[in-house]
Amino acid sequence: MTYRQLWVIVPMVLLLYLSGCSVLQGDGDDFFYDPSQSIPTVDGFDFPVGDRDGQGWGITGYGFLDWSSSSNSWHPGEDWNIPGAGNGDQGEPVYAIAHGKVIFSGWNSALGNVILLQHKTLDGNFIWSQYAHLDRLDVSKGELVQRRQQIGTVGRGPNNRYSAHLHFEIRKHNLAANAWPRTNGVPWDKGKVLKYWLNPSEFIKQNRPQ
């Protein structure tokens, strides 16, 4: 490297250093970067299937805090389906309930294809919405999404284990995508579940777009 090249490179590196930028690249998250800053503030919440009001769909499976005999625990979400459709709603669109950021988009053995979104509320707090048993994933981790943007389609869970439906949750905390209210197979009591999960339909009804 010549002296002339050094006179060009050194000032550039110094300028980057003083400006707080870095020429180093990692896994996408800078050391001082707060990922929550990139999450848009919501303008209200809609339902995840059907039209904005969830018309044409219903909670035909387990509801929030119903006792699930299949999982031996309190059900932390809602199972949405077109009443009487059987598997006829497989492949139907699933929508983001609000502006947010994709925290997880992938597969796990318990729930099949799952999408987890983080949302920034008007008061500056955060909640998380989870969409499980999906047939198709239309978004990837790190993407920003808008309210009513299609993010996937209704499926039947891992290895088509269930009848077609959307398993939908709203969480108060950033839990793992496959989180479930049990510890070593022992179900949590309802009070503990309510510390981590919200009633999805009630929350949406109370926080509709203006």
Neighbours of 33 (CB within 10 A): 10
Closest CA to 209 of 41, 2, 8, 39: 41
Closest C-alpha among 33, 83, 61, 20 to residue 157: 61
Q: Classify burial at 120, counting beta carbons within 10 Å of its beta carbon; exposed 0-12, middle 13-18, buried 19 or more.
A: buried
Confidence label for 37 from pLDDT (cuts 50, 70 and 90): low
Q: Which of 38, 31, 20, 43 is nearest to 141 (CA)?
A: 38
pLDDT digits (tens, 9 = 90+) for 78-121: 999 999 999 999 999 999 999 999 999 999 999 999 999 999 99
The structure's pTM equals 0.82
- Report the candidate in 206, 27, 9, 36 with the shortest Cα–Cα distance to residue 120: 36
Of 124 and 32, more confident: 124
**pLDDT tier, 210 (very low <50, low <70, confident <90, very high otherwise):** confident
CATH code for the domain defined by 38-206? 2.70.70.10
10: three-class secondary structure by DSSP: helix
Q: Assess whether pLDDT exceeds 90 at residue 6.
A: no
pLDDT of residue 127 exceeding 80, the answer is: yes
Per-residue pLDDT reduced to its tens digit, 165-185: 999 999 999 999 999 999 999
Cα separation, 186 vs 34, whole angstroms:
36
Which whole number is the average pLDDT over 145-155?
98
Distance CA 153, CA 166 (A): 9
User: Do 168 and 77 form a contact (C-beta atoms < 8 A)?
Assistant: yes
